[in-house]
Amino acid sequence: MQTLALFTIALAFAFTFTNGFQDAGSIAATLIASRSATPRQGVSLIAVMAFLGSILGGSAVAFTFFGLLTIDSGPETILVLFAAVLSATLWNLLTWYHSLPSSSTHALVGGLLGAGIAAAGMGSVYWGVAELLTPPHELTGVVKIIAFLLLSVLIGFVGSYALHRVGGVLLRNAKRSANRTVIRLNWASAALMSFANGANDSQKQMGIIALVLFAAGETLGPSIPLWARFGCAILLALGTLGGGWRIMKTLGHRIFRLEPIHSFNSQLSSGLAIVLANFAGAPISSTHVISMSVLGVGAAEDHKRVHWSVGKDILLAMVTTIPATMLFAGGVYLLLAYLTGG
């Protein structure tokens, strides 16, 4: 069991790296494509702020993941986690290869659900439906995750659309030199966004590691060791530095030609959506929030100039990620359980 636990923790760290070039790469896209920063400047800023967000961002999101499965501790739980993280990692690599901004969060949630159901049926997942339908009508479990995933992309689209409309009115008589101020604000909004993203994204992997340690009997409850927090922070930053260029090209150039004001509105609305989710302890998809915010500013500027076909591809990845990773993780779990005699 200890060997499997070590493999699962190592895989969670590898997933954090792929998470870096998926989600954090998306954040750098608008800053760089709007020519507010050079590629080296933009990626460095995002990597540093994502690292700080991972270290200082708390643990509420991680504990949401900790309570998602109701399987008893032991080898079965570790096998479920291994299958879940493996499927999410492979999905990240597949979508990255095809230059599609996909969601590491969706992939990980789908993996956990699929492997958990394969291991112990529908009752192994903490759905949160009963808590939603009965007083005091709390958002918990899978219901909470799905609700904030949907709410965050809505805020990303509507927020950026509204900000760009309002900004257009306020800046209608502005001189071209005002662009320098917008660029500085763009750096500030990108820093906020990447800090919030680091706080949200890294906690998903921390939650998995906490679950593995609990299932292996190394801890008595949900706790995140310092080495896990620093490991996730470092790998998220390295993933940002090392592999996000494919996703940056899609978000920065293929949807809509971005100017600094577009990037600022996109980053600000996305950052606020993720900060809200962090306070609520809800894991969300930074990639999808940013993607929808880019579509939002494009629609506010001129919907005819938006390449909606790319938006359709992103939406397709959005709705297929959870079902696809559920099926894959369930299959991986059943295969591993068979091979290990489980």
- The whole-number pLDDT of residue 23 equals 62
User: In tens digits, what is the pLDDT along the chain, a chain of 342 residues?
Assistant: 688 899 999 999 998 988 777 665 677 777 877 878 887 888 888 889 989 999 988 788 877 877 788 766 678 889 999 999 999 999 888 877 776 667 788 889 999 999 999 998 998 888 989 888 888 888 888 898 888 888 888 888 999 999 989 887 877 777 777 778 888 888 998 898 889 888 888 888 898 998 899 888 887 777 889 999 999 999 988 888 775 555 555 555 566 677 888 888 888 898 888 888 888 888 888 878 888 888 888 889 887 777 777 667 767 777 888 999 999 999 999 998 888 876
pTM, two decimal places? 0.85
Give the three-class secondary structure for 235. Answer: helix
Residue 13 CB contacts under 8 Å (≥ 6 apart), including other chains:
205, 231, 232, 235
Residue 74: phi and psi, rounded to 5, are 140, -175
* Domain coordinates in residue numbering, the chain: 2-127+136-339
Helix%, strand%, coil% for the chain, nearest 5: 80, 0, 20
CA-only gyration radius of the chain, Å: 20
- The whole-number pLDDT of residue 308 equals 76
Amino acid at position 99, single letter: S
